[in-house]
Amino acid sequence: DTEVTQTPKHLVMGMTNKKSLKCEQHMGHRAMYWYKQKAKKPPELMFVYSYEKLSINESVPSRFSPECPNSSLLNLHLHALQPEDSALYLCASSQSPDTQYFGPGTRLTVL
């Protein structure tokens, strides 16, 4: 089973809202990732968790706050986003270092 699940599939939020994206995997992978992808572009790495510890934060604005409650779960907390943050947010996991398996993504629109 190489499934990574993400919720919600779609999210529309105002610039003053607080929301969270959720990602789950049950493959026993020790590395989990958040990516942001704009249309017609490759994914951009935001955060990497390795063994539940944040190992990479690619200079992401503080309005994005990751959390890894346990080895299977990854959250991305969103607060005071800007319209330019509208994008597809992808979660991935891997048995490090190895193929990253991506979830279906959350399509985020910030109004």
Partner 1 sequence: ELKVEQNPLFLSMQEGKNYTIYCNYSTTSDRLYWYRQDPGKSLESLFVLLSNGAVKQEGRLMASLDTKARLSTLHITAAVHDLSATYFCAVDIGRNYQLIWGAGTKLIIKP
Residues that bind partner 1 (CB under 8 A): 2, 31, 33, 40-43, 45, 48, 50, 55-56, 90, 92, 94, 96-105, 107
SS3 assignment, position 29? coil
Residue 84: strand, helix, or coil:
helix
Encoding tokens for residue 39?
Answer: 């249309």
CB of 102 to partner 1, least distance (A): 4
Rounded to the nearest whole angstrom, what is the least distance from the CB of residue 29 to partner 1 in the complex? 11
Local structure of residue 22 (DSSP, 8 states): E
Q: Which residue number, 29 or 85, has a Cβ lying nearer to partner 1?
A: 29
CB of 21 or CB of 48, closer to partner 1 = 48
- Answer for the pair 24, 72: CB distance below 8 angstroms, yes or no: yes
Q: How far is the CB of 80 from partner 1 (least distance, A)?
A: 27
Nearer to partner 1, 17 or 72 (CB): 72
Cβ pair 75, 18 in contact under 8 A: no
How many CA atoms does the CB half-sphere of 86 hold within 13 Å?
10
Least distance to partner 1 from the beta carbon of 18, Å?
25
